[in-house]
Amino acid sequence: MVEKRQYIDVNIFIYWLGGHPQYGEKAKKWIENIEKKRGEFITSTLTLYETLIIMAGLTGKTLSDKEFVNDIITSLTSLKNLRFIPLEKEDYTKAIEYINKFKLDLEDAIHYTIAKRSHANTIISNDKDYDKTDIQRKF
């Protein structure tokens, strides 16, 4: 059986870490799947930065708070079965193409680009903008 490669969008981590009232439990189940290695899970290194920025905004913390930064980074990087795909210079050029092709914003286009380059079968996200692309979205 071939394992499906699943790209985890940033909103899964935000809902999980932030205990989102509507989506927090569903996000937690995806995190549990990652921890139990039910498939192959990837995300972009951009996800680390975006998670820091968004969580700082939600909590009132700043990126100069070393403990906060360390806690967020450790939360994501300690997920042993989650692989981080680094951004490459060409990803930005491709993302611009996808902005035009699928009418995505820059962040979604970058995440889609990394998912596509990494041969992901699925994007795990509640962001319906990914429904405009050729990769299946689940949430």
Q: What is the mean pLDDT of residues 35-58?
A: 94
Q: Are the C-beta atoms of residues 34 and 70 closer than 8 Å to each other?
A: no
> Distance (Å, rounded) from C-alpha 30 to C-alpha 17?
12
Check: CB of residue 79 under 8 Å from CB of residue 70.
Answer: no
Domains of the chain and CATH, by start: 5-134 (3.40.50.1010)
For helices 45-59 and 66-77, what crossing angle results, to 10°?
A: 130
Asked if pLDDT for residue 138 goes beyond 70, the answer is: yes
Mean predicted confidence (pLDDT) in 44-50: 97
Q: What is the mean pLDDT of residues 117-135?
A: 96
Q: Is 99 a residue whose pLDDT tops 80? A: yes
- How much is the pTM? 0.93
Contact in structure between 111 and 7 (CB atoms under 8 Å): yes
Closest to 115 measured CA to CA, from 40, 33, 27: 40
Q: Decide if 111 contacts 9 (C-beta within 8 A).
A: yes
